[in-house]
Chain A
Amino acid sequence: MSMSTTWIVVIAVGIATIAIKALGPVLLGGRPLPPRLAGPIALLAPALLAALVAINTFGADRQLVLDARVPGVAAAAVAIWLKAPVLVVIIVAAAVTAVVRAVAG
């Protein structure tokens, strides 16, 4: 791969990402959303967060897999249920996943 190919990708992805991120805030910033959109926007966070949990727990390169992340996230769920602080939840998830991975090889 040539260096110019690398820079084409870096510049194109950079400009596209900056533009995608800026779109909403720059065009709509500071103005209340139309009332019709308030209902859907209120549900965007739970819908996307749940999707991010699911994909980051089970997703791997266009497949669904059960690996050491699953017990880690399950342990995190228990910690959340026990009202542990977020820091503890994250440490529990990483530690359980690391141990399961080390044991399972």
Chain B
Amino acid sequence: MSEPARERDHRDGARAVAPLAIAVLGFGASYGVLARAAGMGVLAPIVMSATTFAGSAQFAAASILGTGGATVSAITAAILLNARYAPIGVSVAPYLTGGFWSRFLHAQLTVDETWAVAAEGEGRFNPKVLLGAGLILYAAWVLGTILGVAFGDVIGDPANWGLDAAFPALFLALLVPQLKDRKTLEAALLGAAIALALTPFVPAGVPIIAASAACLLGLRETPPATPHPGTTP
């Protein structure tokens, strides 16, 4: 990746996820519809979007509740789906230099898409981009949920619009510029292989956590001396 002309800020983060915000709005609405159909009422789905703010976990919990599954299964599935946020949180932590509440806020807005657009390669993350992107996607997700529970099935299935393909397309667009050397390429291929190989055998969410083990390839040799985040201009 070529060196950016200037450091990215909040607006760059907001701009980077803007196209995805439409897809997130659509999926928020379909979550609202599904959650209401599953008998979760009006307020609970909105509270869940505002607090959990993690699509796949919320869909899993709603569909398990809607099909009469056990409370414990719904909770366990959702937590397994969100477990990847532990390593993701550790990866951004060195770049969150604010006080407790600032770090806490950034952490809550760190989801797959915002983390991916905030990545600047070689393990560096831009907290301003993370915040700008996070606020846009959070607003889209909560607003979408409200629209879904309030107005029901107005847009129909987001899949009819191909919106489910928007997410892997974004992740691919953010992955490709990072594949600069052999080690990064190997980690990416191993991560994808682990995730695909485990999918038929373990609950959803586990393949993604397991894929993070591919980063252990980085232990093979001593890493180059990377500058401390505070020392860049």
* Interface residues, chain A, with chain B CB atoms under 8 Å away: 1, 3, 5-10, 12-14, 16-18, 20-33, 35-36, 38-59, 61-64, 68-69, 72-73, 76-77, 80, 86-87, 89-99, 101-102
User: Which residues on A sit within 8 Å (CB–CB) of B4?
Assistant: none
Q: When A25-B110, A86-B19 are in contact, do A49 and B218 touch as well, CB less than 8 Å?
A: no
Interface pair A25/B96, CB less than 8 Å apart: yes
Q: In the complex, what's the smallest C-beta–C-beta distance from A37 to chain B, in angstroms?
A: 8
Q: When A39-B221, A64-B199, A98-B161 are in contact, do A17 and B85 touch as well, CB less than 8 Å?
A: yes
* Interface residues, chain B, with chain A CB atoms under 8 Å away: 16, 18-20, 23, 38-41, 44, 47-48, 51-54, 57-58, 61, 65-66, 68, 71, 74-75, 78-79, 82-94, 96-98, 100, 103-104, 106-108, 110, 112, 115-116, 119, 121-123, 159-176, 178-179, 183-185, 187-192, 194-196, 199-201, 203-204, 207-208, 211-223, 226, 228-229
Interface pair B82/A20, CB less than 8 Å apart: yes
Interface pair A17/B51, CB less than 8 Å apart: yes
Interface pair A24/B123, CB less than 8 Å apart: no
B188 touches which one: A14, A33, A46 (CB < 8 A)?
Answer: A46
A104 to B183: give the CA distance in the assembly, Å.
40
Interface pair B16/A68, CB less than 8 Å apart: no
Interface pair A22/B65, CB less than 8 Å apart: no
Q: In the complex, what's the smallest C-beta–C-beta distance from A3 to chain B, in angstroms?
A: 6
Interface pair B68/A76, CB less than 8 Å apart: no
Q: When A25-B110, A68-B162, A73-B169 are in contact, do A44 and B91 touch as well, CB less than 8 Å?
A: yes
Which residue on chain B has the smallest CB distance to residue A59?
Answer: B199
Q: When A7-B44, A13-B52 are in contact, do A49 and B159 touch as well, CB less than 8 Å?
A: no
Interface pair B97/A29, CB less than 8 Å apart: yes
Interface pair A24/B92, CB less than 8 Å apart: yes
Interface pair A17/B119, CB less than 8 Å apart: no
Q: When A17-B51, A76-B169 are in contact, do A9 and B216 touch as well, CB less than 8 Å?
A: no
